[in-house]
């Protein structure tokens, strides 16, 4: 695939990032006076407020703020400090691995399951498998992840006691090595199951619809006419074509993947980015909220870029346009 | 061997157009009716709307106030019983009352936010598809940017700055939901605008606004409707999550705030499952119903998805 | 008399839709002798494409197909699994309408042709396959190297030629061409037809040519069979069927095509009022009688069988029966 294709996409991603940075800038500085908001929570004297204002560059005109303070800070990876003096970028950075572990695993499992179910349901349209999985997929799709998490806690943690109710590891008796891994997995199980089932519905429904579209195409009948087995028709021709929209659908769903993760981390008190986000809300930690907003946006932009490049690679109509 | 007779001219063009649309509507309904899923979804949503509208008749509004239930000495955390079919919460409020009155807020927020998002999305989508060229390029760039904004992140920011409450929630949904429908509507608008009769309308000198209103918009209504249903489903989801996380209006009851209260009061660990399950089921059913309607309507639009 | 490569005996095809059964084909007999080109003509909805698809059993599973479809003597309707797959492409292949969508968009051309070859010859080596693919492409006047391309990189006419090459991959005795030129513009149409004619003559293929374009039919076919409302109304020699039509419908069809330069045609366009009947609302007796200019009382009651025509074919019209009994 041509270098110019990738280059154009990367350029577009940068421009989008720029838009987000500008949007973020105006959002936080023009919708209300940030200093007043901070002062509201922390009882600051007028002098302290002025000092803070100077520190945050808020005493200068907007354009100067943007070019002299905002952008340079960002380029250095400085996302500011929270009220308690913690560095925002460090806070965010530290939490990434845990969230990645939870959300990444869930997304991967959900995609695999959803695609497999969608293929089978779409291929044997109207079968009992199809009808059951359709309703199941729709129901899981319609269930907010945080709610599903609570249901699971009620049944499996509180009532049956099979799994811990919250957390990442046993804080009372910390473990190491292999026992630690098991401990983490034990804590990870319910939240991960929740997210997997919550995400699965979308993938299954999209894959099924995609299969139905491709099965109706002429080339499916044409390949059958060539005298190859039904399984070969499905695996060699239908599935590869049906998979293409999944890539686009996954990216569009990304916002909900993030939201689902936040909800689940909150319900399970899982110490990841999601929990950090909700804590930030409670404490009106503007710098942290700003940092998280930027982080999530950047994640979505990157996901879009990856999907575009992947599509370019996988779909010959784009590759050899 | 009779020649085709000329139109009598008794009915105006507008009447003909409307009778055509009516026929198309009836044909769509005939197809929609064959989907059990579609009918079930419709029934559920109608039931919820009726419950929400009849709330004053079904439950005493004071039952949502903590002060009132304290005066009435209603039991705290009571499991479901005949007197309280959905049980009571930590403060003694009947969960059934909460759910009935909560339906109003949850559905209203969903409806208003969806309307707002679709108004913007339709305006942008129809224009982009109709005008094409530079206008299309700029509008689609804008759409792409707004699709990237993480709605949860934005919600938190708005809650911090604008304060918590329904206005914040509706604003978040509108800002982050208009972009996707805009894209879909634009594709349809472009397809319709490419048809010869639109070219003809331009040639005879119709104003652009007239063409969009009388030709492009009606032909795009099916797609717009589907997008409304889809957006509605995600609006209810969003409202419930945001309210649950604490961004809702502390003075009004919604399904999300009911869950928030229950969670914060330790319903999970204390085993008060009814405080979570009943409001939760309502949320799931409402979203599911809209999803089912969207699914059935998809079948009306795309024959490939129909049962043979 | 050539043995028939394909014989249809009283074939009836009924689609099973949610709204009820739809009889698309209501009894067809057809013979395709080896090496000959038989045209299957008719208006949209008469059932000709259905017949074409039925021959290789490509209709949806729920569709009812009764009667016999004999491929080189064997009834294809009784075949299952491996036997059926061997017949598909091995004995008969099909060129679909709209080659634009008959090729898998994400696979290279040579891969798709090779797939057909390898499905019918498990032992063939990759080298031999690739050689054969090259040969086939050259046969349809495409350079062999274009096999490395994807369908979207080819024009409409080129894609159709690829379909033809693919159809010939396993050296079938019969090729079904379902409206192969309808979606192409006229210049390309001519090229593709020329190619088909050449290949047919060279390889001695039997062809069932399905189309509604009568001018194409008369050019390329040996015999022509005309369908109306799911039945054959006339069958005969391509040279005489339109110049000496026996069935009123055939006459109307022939009349509907104006002859360029003929003044009479210019000022008196002929054609038939009305539309072909919907399968759900089939007229009694002869399905054509509501539109027939020479229908008489018995036509509404009796569905005619096929009678011999003066030109050596058959036609399903009571008038022929009348003439016979009167003679």
Q: How many domains is chain A built from? A: 2
List of chain A residues with pLDDT < 50: none
Question: Which alpha helices (DSSP H) does C210-305 contain, by range?
Answer: 214-220, 248-256, 263-267
Q: Are A100 and A213 part of one and the same domain?
A: yes
Classify residue A81: in a domain, yes or no: no
Residues A179 and A218 in one domain: yes
Does a structural domain hold residue A151?
yes
Domain membership of residue A83 (yes or no) is no
Q: Render C105-127 in DSSP notation, one character per residue.
A: TTS-HHHHHHHHHHHH-TT--HH
> Using a CB-CB distance cutoff of 8 angstroms, which residues of chain A are in contact with residue C107?
236-237, 240
Domain check: are A60 and A103 in the same one?
A: no
C-beta separation of C221 from C209 below 8 A: yes
Residue A294 located in a structural domain:
yes
**Tens digit of pLDDT for each residue in A87-145?**
788 888 888 999 999 999 999 999 999 999 999 999 998 899 999 999 999 999 999 99
The answer to whether the Cβ–Cβ distance between B271 and A158 falls below 8 Å is yes
> Does A219 touch chain C if contact means CB atoms closer than 8 Å?
yes
Residues of C in contact with A241 (CB under 8 A): 104-106
Pairwise CA distance, residues A35 & A49, whole Å: 7
Measured between alpha carbons, how far is residue B235 from residues A277, B21, B171, B231 in Å?
21, 29, 11, 6
- CA C178 – CA C94 distance, rounded (Å): 7
In chain A, residues with a C-beta closer than 8 Å to the C-beta of C88 are 224-227
Burial tier of A50 (Cβ tally within 10 Å: 0-12, 13-18, 19+): middle
Quickly list DSSP for B236-305. Answer: HHHHHHHIIIIIS-TTS--HHHHHHHHHHTTHHHHT-THHHHHHHHHHHHHHHHHHHHHHHHHHHH-GGG
Asked if residue B154 belongs to a domain, the reply is yes
Q: Is residue B11 part of a domain?
A: no
Instruction: Express each pLDDT in C177-214 by its tens digit.
Output: 998 888 788 888 888 888 988 999 999 999 999 988 88
Does some domain include residue A198? Answer: yes
Domain-wise residue ranges, chain C:
4-91+173-282, 100-171
The pLDDT value given to residue A37: 64
pTM of the model: 0.88
A82 occurs within a structural domain = no
- Is residue B57 situated within a structural domain? yes
Q: Test B1 with C273 for CB contact under 8 angstroms.
A: yes
- pLDDT at site B157: 79
Any domain includes A193: yes
* B307 vs C: CB within 8 A: yes
Beta-carbon separation of A150 and B263 below 8 A: yes
Q: Which of residues 101-140 of B touch A (CB under 8 A)?
A: none
* Among chain A residues, CA nearest to B159: A281
Which residues of chain B are under the pLDDT cut of 70? Answer: 1-10, 307-308
What is the domain-level CATH number for residue A235?
A: 1.10.3720.10
State the best of A147, A275, A282 to mutate against chain B, taking most chain B CBs within 10 Å: A147
Between β-strands C64-71 and C20-33, what pairing exists: parallel, antiparallel or unpaired? unpaired
- The number of distinct structural domains making up chain B is 1
Q: How confident is the model at residue C169 (pLDDT cuts 50, 70, 90)?
A: very high
CATH number (domain holding residue B281): 1.10.3720.10
Of chain C residues 133-152, which have a CB less than 8 A from chain A?
A: 149-150, 152
* Statement to judge: residues A249 and A213 lie in one domain: yes
> Which tens digit of pLDDT belongs to each residue from B110-153?
999 999 999 999 999 999 999 888 999 999 989 988 988 888 88
Instruction: Give contacts of B245 with chain A, Cβ < 8 Å.
Output: 262-263, 266, 278, 281
Over 50: is that where the pLDDT of C137 sits? yes
**Per-residue burial over A198-237, b = 16 or more CB atoms within 10 Å of its CB, e = otherwise:** bbbbbbbbbbbbbbbbbbebebbbbbbbbbbeeebbbebb
Contact list, C17 vs chain B (CB under 8 Å): 308
For B201-228, give the DSSP string: HHHTT--HHHHIIIIIHHHHHHHHHHHH
The secondary structure element, H or E, covering residue C92 is strand C92-95
Count of C-beta atoms within a 10 Å radius of residue A130? 18
| Of B248, B245, B262, the residue nearest B108 (C-alpha) | B248
**Whole domain around residue A257: which residue ranges?**
92-320
CA–CA dist C21, C74 (Å, integer): 28
Angle between helices A177-215 and A254-268 (to 10 degrees): 150
**Among candidate residues A75, A104, A134, the one where a domain is terminated:** A75
Q: Taking a C-beta distance cutoff of 8 angstroms, is the pair B127, B306 a contact?
A: no
* Structural domain includes residue B286: yes
Residue of A225, A312, A321 to mutate, testing the C interface (most C Cβ within 10 Å of its Cβ): A225
The more confidently predicted of residues C272 and B224 is B224
Nearest residue in C to B307, CA atom: C18
For residue A11, give Cα distances in angstroms to A5, A14, A309: 10, 5, 13
Q: Is the dihedral of CA B91, B92, B96, B98 positive or negative?
A: negative
The pLDDT of residue C87: 92
C249-259 pLDDT per residue, tens: 888 887 776 66
CB spacing of A320 vs C150 below 8 angstroms: yes
Q: What is the pLDDT of residue C134?
A: 94
Q: A15 and A71, same structural domain?
A: yes
CATH of domain C4-91+173-282: 3.40.50.300
Please write the tens of the pLDDT for every residue from C74-108.
Answer: 899 999 888 999 999 999 999 988 777 899 999 99
Q: Do C153 and A320 touch (CB under 8 A)?
A: yes
Flag whether B28 is in a domain: no
| Predicted pLDDT at A39 | 64
Please report the ipTM that was assigned to this predicted complex: 0.87
Give the pLDDT band of residue C128 (cuts 50, 70, 90). Answer: very high
Kindly state whether residue B24 falls inside one of the protein's structural domains: no
Identify all chain A residues contacting B247, using CB atoms and an 8 Å cutoff. Answer: 281
Rounded CA-CA distance B255/C32 in Å is 71
């Amino acid at each position: 695939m041509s270098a110019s294709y990738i280059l154009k996409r990367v350029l577009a991603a940068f421009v989008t990032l720029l838009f987000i940075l500008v949007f973020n800038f105006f959002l936080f500085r023009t919708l209300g006076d940030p200093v007043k908001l901070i002062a509201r929570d922390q009882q600051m004297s007028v002098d302290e407020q002025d000092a803070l204002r100077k520190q945050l560059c808020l005493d200068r005109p907007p354009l100067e703020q943007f070019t002299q303070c905002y952008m340079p800070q960002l380029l250095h990876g400085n996302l500011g400090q929270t009220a308690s003096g913690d560095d925002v970028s460090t806070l965010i950075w530290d939490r990434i691995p845990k969230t990645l572990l939870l959300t990444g695993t869930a997304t991967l499992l959900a995609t695999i399951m959803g695609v497999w179910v969608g293929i089978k349901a779409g291929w044997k349209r109207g079968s009992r498998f199809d009808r059951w999985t359709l309703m199941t997929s729709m129901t899981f799709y319609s269930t907010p992840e945080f709610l599903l998490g609570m249901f699971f806690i009620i049944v499996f943690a509180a009532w049956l006691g099979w799994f811990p109710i919250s957390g990442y590891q046993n804080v009372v008796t910390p473990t190491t090595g292999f026992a630690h891994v098991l401990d983490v997995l034990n804590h990870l199980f319910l939240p991960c199951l929740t997210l997997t089932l919550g995400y699965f519905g979308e993938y299954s429904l999209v894959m099924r619809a995609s299969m139905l579209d491709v099965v109706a195409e002429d080339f499916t009948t044409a390949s059958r006419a060539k005298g190859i087995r039904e399984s070969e028709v499905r695996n060699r021709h239908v599935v590869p074509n049906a998979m293409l929209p999944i890539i686009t659908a996954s990216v569009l769903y990304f916002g909900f993947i993030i939201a689902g993760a936040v909800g689940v981390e909150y319900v399970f008190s899982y110490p990841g980015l999601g929990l950090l986000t909700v804590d930030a809300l409670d404490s009106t930690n503007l710098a942290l909220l700003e940092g998280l907003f930027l982080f999530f946006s950047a994640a979505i932009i990157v996901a879009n870029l990856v999907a575009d490049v992947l599509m370019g690679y996988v779909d010959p109509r784009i590759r050899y346009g | 061997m009779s020649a085709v007779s000329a139109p009598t001219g008794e009915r105006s063009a507008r009447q003909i157009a409307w009778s055509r649309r009516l026929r198309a509507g009836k044909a769509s309904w005939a197809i929609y009716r064959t989907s059990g899923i579609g009918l079930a979804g419709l029934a559920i949503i109608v039931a919820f709307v009726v419950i929400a509208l009849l709330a004053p008749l079904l439950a005493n509004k004071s039952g949502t106030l903590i002060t009132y239930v304290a005066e009435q000495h209603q039991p705290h955390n009571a499991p479901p019983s005949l007197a309280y079919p959905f049980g009571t919460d930590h403060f003694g409020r009947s969960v059934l009352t909460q759910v009935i009155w909560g339906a109003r807020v949850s559905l209203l927020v969903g409806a208003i936010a969806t309307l707002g998002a679709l108004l913007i999305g339709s305006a942008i989508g129809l224009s982009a598809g109709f005008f094409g060229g530079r206008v299309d390029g700029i509008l689609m760039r804008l759409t792409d940017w707004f699709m990237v904004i993480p709605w949860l992140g934005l919600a938190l920011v708005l809650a911090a700055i604008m304060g918590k409450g329904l206005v914040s929630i509706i604003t978040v949904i509108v800002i982050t939901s208009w972009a996707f429908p805009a894209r879909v509507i634009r594709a349809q608008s472009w397809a319709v605008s490419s048809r010869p009769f639109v070219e003809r309308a331009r040639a005879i000198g119709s104003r652009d606004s007239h063409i969009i209103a009388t030709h492009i918009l009606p032909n795009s209504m099916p797609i717009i409707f589907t997008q409304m249903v889809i957006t509605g489903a995600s609006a209810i989801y969003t409202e419930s999550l945001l309210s649950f996380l604490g961004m809702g209006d502390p003075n009004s009851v919604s399904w999300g705030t009911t869950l928030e209260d229950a969670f914060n009061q330790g319903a999970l660990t204390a085993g008060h499952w009814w405080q979570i399950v009943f409001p939760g089921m309502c949320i799931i059913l409402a979203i599911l119903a809209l999803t089912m309607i969207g699914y059935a309507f998809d079948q009306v639009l795309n024959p490939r998805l129909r049962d043979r | 008399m050539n043995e028939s490569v394909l014989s249809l005996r009283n074939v009836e095809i009924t689609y099973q839709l949610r709204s009820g059964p739809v009889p698309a084909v209501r009894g067809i007999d057809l013979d395709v002798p080896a090496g000959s080109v038989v045209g299957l003509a008719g208006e949209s909805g008469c059932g000709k494409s259905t017949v074409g698809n039925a021959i290789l059993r490509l209709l949806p599973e729920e569709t009812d197909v009764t009667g016999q479809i004999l491929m080189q003597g064997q009834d294809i309707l009784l075949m299952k699994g491996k036997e059926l797959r061997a017949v598909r492409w091995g004995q008969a292949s099909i060129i679909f309408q709209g080659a634009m969508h008959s090729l898998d968009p994400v696979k290279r051309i040579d891969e798709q042709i090779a797939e057909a070859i390898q499905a019918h010859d498990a032992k063939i080596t990759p080298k031999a396959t690739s050689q054969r693919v090259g040969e086939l492409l050259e046969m349809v006047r495409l350079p062999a190297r274009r096999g490395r391309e994807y369908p979207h990189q080819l024009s409409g006419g080129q894609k159709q030629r690829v379909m033809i090459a693919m159809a010939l991959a396993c050296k079938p005795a019969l090729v079904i061409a379902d409206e192969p030129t309808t979606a192409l513009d006229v210049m390309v149409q001519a090229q593709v037809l020329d190619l088909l004619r050449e290949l047919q003559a060279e390889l001695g293929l039997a062809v069932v040519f399905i189309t509604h374009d009568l001018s194409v039919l008369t050019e390329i076919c040996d015999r022509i069979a005309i369908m109306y409302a799911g039945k054959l109304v006339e069958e005969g020699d391509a040279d005489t069927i339109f110049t000496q039509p026996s069935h009123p419908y055939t006459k109307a069809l022939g009349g509907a095509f104006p002859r360029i330069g003929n003044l009479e045609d210019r000022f008196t366009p002929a054609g038939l009022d009305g539309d072909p009947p919907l399968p759900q609302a089939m007229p009694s007796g002869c399905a054509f009688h509501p539109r027939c200019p020479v229908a008489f009382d018995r036509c509404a009651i009796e569905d005619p069988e096929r009678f011999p025509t003066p030109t050596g074919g058959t036609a399903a019209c009571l008038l022929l029966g009348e003439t016979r009994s009167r003679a």
